Every structure is written in structure tokens, then in C-alpha cells.
Chain A
């Protein structure tokens, strides 16, 4: 009932009946083409420029950056970071690139692969892309990478390969489409720095409901 009334009102306002096949096809063709609108020049750089811009923007958004020369360094880098903060556990995504690493450098730190629960102190995930334009990470949900890992723990550690850094949001959407040709993933998360709020007395504080700390391990191109 409401549906017909709402659509009827819109059509009346537009001064027409139901859209003609031609009008509909035109709108659907626009969707199918999904052309980009203006993309700021700032993100249209060479590889080196994009990587530098990503680093600058992500740091500007209060993310912590740690460099890795090779993937095998990740377990010890994660271990060092966790020990510095006196954390005893890590809940991790189960992507193949993480599973094939030797995690013995964690020592006593307990590493579990599961969804996050209230009380978890730190999580580790990978990232599909880094978007240079604003220093934004793009992650998406899948069996190996449950979304709760991105939001419930106090600290979110993310692996980003330099080769996955792109210029603009549009570049990243195309990657999402490529990786998920049949259907969009249930959720896509664009993350720019740690959680924050200025709702108490207009004073900006880090760590509202999402992670208080965002650490990005950037793996240099081989």
C-alpha cells in the first residue's frame, strides 16, 4: 500500500506515469557503466607518490605505521608490538597469507583464530586495499576475516601490502568488484584511523567504541 502511494507521489511530482522502458534502461545503463565522477588530482600519482600519500594521510588520521621488508617479519613485529603494550593474547583472521607464517615469535602470547569477543585486546587482519587519497584501509567480510575483528578489540593490527595501495576510492571499488564478481560481500569497511568522538564537551578523544589504536604493518614491495 505504502509502496504504491510513495511511488505514485513521486511520479505525480515528476509529471509522468510509471517510467517508460527507455527511461528505465537509461538509468540501468548508467548503473551498469558505473562511471567515476571527478577524482581529485591528489590521488592520481605514480606508485611511489601513492604510497607516500597513503602514509602521510594514514598518519594524519592517527594510525600507527610499522614497516616490514618481508612478510616473514610480521610475526615478530606483531609480537614486539604486543609485548610493548603488555598484551597476552591476539585474535586473528585466518587468511592463507597469515596461516603460512611461522608464529613462534609470539612466545607466550596466545593466538586464536575466531570471531572477536568483548574483552579481546588485540586483533590482526589483512586489508584488501589501502586508499592513498585519505589514508583509508578497505576490508571486507568473508569466512576468513569476520567483521567483529575490525571493531570489538581495543587494538586493531592490519597487514597492508604496498602493492595493494591504490589512488582513489573508485580504484578500490573496482577491486571489490573483481574479488567478488557474483555478489558484494556482506560488509565492506573503510577505516581511516582509530575510533574517536568529540561528544563530551566538544573535546576530541580517541577510542570511542571501535578500536582505540589502529596499527598498519606496511609490507614493502618485493
Chain B
């Protein structure tokens, strides 16, 4: 998709004034986060599982080459093929080649964020292969020429009326605003696509080195029809998805559904291992795994290595106050929210994505809810440092930081100034103790009053307590 991350501020401004989006986001915060909290209450081991998952992911990264090679050898042993792709272009070409080999005209697609990352749909279409998204949300977006605003609930920014109009326009059927009827309509229309597609493309939530299997996790069953009905199944996924064993995969599955939608378990967890067997009556005759790197291998050993633990549950964005206010499209690329603010600069460059790691209140909620305990605020800070080093930070901000650093390095002046400004602000505030306006702080006071400092500064109180021997 087209990169719009450099316009984050403008995107966010528009999003904040978009009434329908705000309505959807308002509803959203009572969905996934509440369900997650309830699911965790029912599983006392949840935090222990998170620790174990973090350690296991670290072990996998330490042995990533070994597990990937083992996975590859098992896929081949099962009669499948593995395509290693350094870049998005390599992956697109590999997939198109497979499609050409089987003379594919149409492909059905399960949900895959990696395919969004590499612009697979555009590439296939330009080369004469028609992709059909089958995840309900992705299907709606494809009809609208739109893009996901969330990694597991792609059409979260749309309301029932939007879907109703879209279906009416494309399906040429009587208009309805009943969600059940709309879903039935999509089910009927897509049935024909499932059955007639030449190739099915799915993503993978995990790859199992022990068995050479890929697994997809879906609630709709679209991924299953996508990978079962066509003669060729292509799995497009990224290198960090590999896990050693089925037991290890089970650990992540226990965390994934609960962290994502708050379900105990997703409806369909489906393992695919190679093409159909000699006596099988259905299933694909060809099984391909397209392993995409796209910058991930360079994260190994870097300050961003922890990000490779991500299992794409979306919990960080579900709980993020910034995502909750501006929605996913404001981030301007494929991955929104805190995980996106770490990944996007790596994939499209910090020069284009510098706003994203700054679009954080550093409240720490993302790290608190991450099932593999990725220190997301720390990783965003690393990007801010890189932005500063590369002189991408605006002049006013650099001036502000430099001024602050000047005083911070001179504690006596710093404390004197703090004391002075605390006194000045509290005098301005008067008896009410609150300010309606404050120079240079319009961003705050336009929306709420600024509480004035009360009493002495922290350092003065500290000194007084030290003296009193407390």
C-alpha cells in the first residue's frame, strides 16, 4: 500500500474529526480489551505462560537458522517446496511464478499481513492474476479499494452502513443493514470463488520445525476453504514464525486467542503439512511455503531483536490510547499501533516513519499486555534516538531538547528554575489551582485545564525529609 506515514499528524487530525471513525473506535475499546481481561481471569497461569513464551521466543531467535533449515527439510520431505525471499519483490515474483506454472487466473486469499507488506494483490493483478480476499473484513476492504486499519480486525473503521452500501453496489442485490444478512450475502458470493480458484494463498501464524507444518488461526473458516479447495496452496509468511515443536506451538496458541480477541481459543486452528496424500480425496496437490525476510534477519543481534518475538495478536494496539484515538489508518502503512511504530521504521525507513515512534504517550500499556513481553516503549525510544542522530527531528524539538539538556546538566540552575516556575504558575492559577490557558501549552489547555503545582518541588521536599532524618 501507498506509504502515508510521513503525514501522520495530518492523518491523525482528520481521524480525530471523523465522526464515524470515532464512533467505531469508541465501541472498539469495550470489545477486545474487555474480553481479554475476562479470559485472563479464567486462566491463572497466564503470566507464567507469558514468561515462558518470551524465553522460548528468545531461544528460537538464538537458533533461528537451525530451526528454519529444519523446517525446510521437513517441508521438502513431505513433498512441499520452500522459497526463501530476501525482499518483497522476490516474494511477489516467487508467488507469480507458482501461479504461472499452474496457469492460475484467480487466487483466493486468506488473511495475511505479510502479503499487505509486499503489495502482493497489486502485483498479481498487474500480472494478470486476480486475487480475491476471503476474510470477510479483507473482502469488504478489497471491494472498497481500502486497506486494513487493524491487523486482526481489518475493517474495524467501517460501520454496518458502509458495508451495506458496498455490498449493494458490488453484489447488485437489495440493500440491507442487517449484519447477519450481509454476512450471508458475502458467504454466498464467495462460495463460488472458493470453488473455482486455481490457487489458494494463506498466511501462517506459526511454522513447526518438527513436522514442516504451517498453522493458520481463523474464526471464519475462510482460510481453510482457501487452502483446501484449490489445487495449489501457497503459504506466505515471515522467517520469525518458526517454532520448534507442536508443544511449543500450543504455548503460543494459548496466548494468542486470549490476547487477541479474548476468546479461550480461536474457532479454527488448522495445521497444514505438505500436499495431499496418495489416497486423500481432497486437498491441494502442491504445497509451497514462501518465506519472507524483508528486513527481519537484520533485526537479529540489533537493538530491535526483541520485536522478532511478536506473534501479531494486536493486544498492544487494542490497549493503546493513541491507536484508540486516531485509528489504524493514521499510521499510514500496514502495521499500526505500538508494534507498527517499531516495525514500520525498519521496513520503510525512519526518514518516512519518524512520527510513529513519537506517537506514543509512553504509558507502557502495550508492554504490560504483550503476551511475549516485548519492551515496546523502549524500542520506540531507540527509534527516537535514531531519528535524533539522523537530524530528522524538527528544529523546534531539537532546540527544546538542547535547552532542557543545558539545564539538566546544571542541577543548581535547574532546581532554582523549577522552584521559580512552580511558584509563578501556582500564583497565576490563583485560588482555583487550575489554569485555563498557558503559553506554549495550548495542546493541553485547549482540551482541559492545567493543574498548577502544589507546594514545594520534589527536590525541596526530598531535602527537607533528609534533614528531618525521615
Contact = CB atoms under 8 A, between A and B. Distances in A.
Interface in B61-93: 62-70, 78, 84-87, 90
Contact of A189 (B136, B209, B224, B274): B224
Interface string A11-55: 111110011000110011011001111101110000000000000
B135 A27 contact: no
A109 interface: no
A118 B45 CA distance: 42
A196 B250 contact: no
Nearest to A7: B65
Given A38-B49, A208-B221, A31 B183 contact: no
A197 B274 contact: no
Given A193-B267, A209-B134, A210-B267, A201 B163 contact: yes
A31 to B, nearest CB: 5
Contacts of B70: 27-28, 31
Given A6-B297, A184-B213, A190 B86 contact: no
B44 interface: yes
A197 B239 CA distance: 28
B220 A186 contact: no
B271 A191 contact: no
B305 interface: yes
B153 A186 contact: no
A191 B218 CA distance: 10
Nearest to B265: A134
Nearest to B62: A14
Interface stretch (B188-196, B330-338, B352-360, B368-376): B188-196
A199 B305 CA distance: 33
A186 B80 CA distance: 11
B125 interface: no
A196 to B, nearest CB: 5
B244 A30 contact: yes
A188 B213 CA distance: 10
Nearest to A208: B220
Contact of B239 (A6, A133, A210): A6
A82 B209 CA distance: 42
A36 to B, nearest CB: 5
Given A30-B244, A37-B56, 15 more contacts: A6-B291, A7-B65, A23-B66, A40-B254, A136-B265, A141-B282, A143-B279, A148-B228, A151-B228, A185-B277, A186-B277, A192-B265, A192-B268, A195-B221, A196-B267
Contacts of B182: 200
A51 B68 CA distance: 38
B43 interface: yes
B31 interface: yes
Interface in A144-193: 146-148, 150-152, 168-170, 173, 176, 183-193
Given A14-B301, A189-B268, A150 B65 contact: no
B65 A19 contact: yes
A85 interface: no
B62 to A, nearest CB: 7
Interface of B: 24, 27-28, 31, 43-45, 48-49, 52, 56, 62-70, 78, 84-87, 90, 134-137, 140, 153-156, 158-160, 163, 179-180, 182-184, 187, 190-192, 194-195, 209-213, 219-222, 224-225, 228-229, 239, 244-248, 250-251, 253-254, 264-277, 279-283, 291, 293, 297-302, 305
Nearest to A5: B86
22 contacts: A2-B87, A7-B68, A9-B298, A10-B68, A10-B239, A10-B297, A37-B49, A37-B250, A38-B45, A133-B265, A151-B225, A168-B250, A169-B253, A173-B247, A186-B273, A188-B271, A189-B224, A190-B265, A191-B268, A199-B136, A209-B222, A211-B221
B271 to A, nearest CB: 4
A200 B24 CA distance: 11
A95 to B, nearest CB: 13
Contacts of A190: 265, 268-271
A115 B281 contact: yes
B273 A208 contact: no
B268 A210 contact: yes
A170 B63 CA distance: 23
A198 interface: yes
